[in-house]
Amino acid sequence: MQFLKFFFVPALLLSSNTFALALVNGDFSSDLSGWNNAGATDATVNAGVAELSTQVGDGINPYSSVLVQGDDGSFTFGSPVVLGADIETLIFDIRFDQFDDSLEAGFSSFDDSLTVALYDELDFSGSSDLIFSSGSDFSAESIWQTVELDVTALAGHTLALSFELFDESNGFDSTFYLDNINFLAAEPPPEPPVSVSEPSSLMLLLIGIVGMFARRRHFKK
């Protein structure tokens, strides 16, 4: 697992202690346990980091690498991801490498791209309910970055989370590295401040009490 992070999107009133227990093995410390590569062979784990790679040459299946949690690729949602009602953000670390591929035709002007798709179990219709793509919704560079995506539209839902690598015939192969995937809940509002009397106020109150006792003793005499 990597530890050097460069924040791509600023955290919006969120802190590191707001992790929800929606995902399992988001840091890939247990290899691909809890994840499904949907039949693809190019999603692996190396040194605690998930690697999604495109295939050499012009592949028949443009989605050369898929990594899913909450489904097995059949969209039966056997073990869906359950989001809490207070979930706001999907967060993950990402890095990107690109290599020359002389076997690709190279006719495409588009780069290989990674799509982050969330499929809602309750109203699944064959398309994702939320979809984010590298290059437009978030950046993927040769250095590690932390990406935060707004998923409030699916808070409280059951779903599948899918990372899908699209292989363009652009003359290059690509590898996307993923780590520390999780969902963040909204930070609870701060506790109201407790009113504490100032020392000067306490001293004035004490003087007043002493004065009252002194007057009572004077009148008794």
How high is the pLDDT of residue 12? 31
Q: In this structure, what token pair is assigned to residue 77? A: 């949602």
Q: Considering the domain boundaries, does residue 23 fall inside one?
A: no
How high is the pLDDT of residue 118? 93
Instruction: Look at the chain and report how many structural domains it folds into.
Output: 1
Note whether 149 and 137 are within 8 A (CB): yes
Q: Considering the domain boundaries, does residue 32 fall inside one?
A: no
CA distances from 81 to 27, 31, 102, 121 (A): 16, 18, 40, 9
How high is the pLDDT of residue 198? 55
Q: Considering the domain boundaries, does residue 21 fall inside one?
A: no
Nearest in space to 115 (alpha carbons), one of 100, 95, 137 = 137
How high is the pLDDT of residue 59? 58
Q: Considering the domain boundaries, does residue 145 fall inside one?
A: yes
Based on DSSP, count helices (H) and strands (E) in the chain, helices before strands.
1, 10
Nearest in space to 118 (alpha carbons), one of 78, 81, 72 = 81
What range does the domain containing 99 cover? 43-189
How high is the pLDDT of residue 212? 63
To the question of pTM greater than 0.75 for the whole model, the response is no
Instruction: State how beta strands 81-82 and 158-166 pair.
Output: antiparallel
Q: In this structure, what token pair is assigned to residue 15? A: 């802190």
How high is the pLDDT of residue 5? 37
d(CA 68, CA 184): 19
Q: Considering the domain boundaries, does residue 215 fall inside one?
A: no
How high is the pLDDT of residue 127? 67
CA-based radius of gyration for the chain = 27
How high is the pLDDT of residue 160? 93
Q: Considering the domain boundaries, does residue 197 fall inside one?
A: no
Q: In this structure, what token pair is assigned to residue 123? A: 């109203």
How high is the pLDDT of residue 203? 65
Nearest in space to 119 (alpha carbons), one of 78, 77, 160, 76 = 160
Task: Please list the ranges in the chain whose pLDDT falls under 70.
Answer: 1-21, 38-42, 56-64, 100-104, 106-110, 126-128, 168-171, 194-221
How high is the pLDDT of residue 173? 78
Q: Considering the domain boundaries, does residue 98 fall inside one?
A: yes
**pLDDT tens digits for range 110-147:** 677 889 999 999 887 766 689 999 888 998 899 999 99
CATH number at 119 reads: 2.60.120.260
Q: In this structure, what token pair is assigned to residue 194? A: 């407790």
Helix (H) or strand (E) holding 201: helix 199-220
d(CA 182, CA 2): 15
Q: Considering the domain boundaries, does residue 141 fall inside one?
A: yes
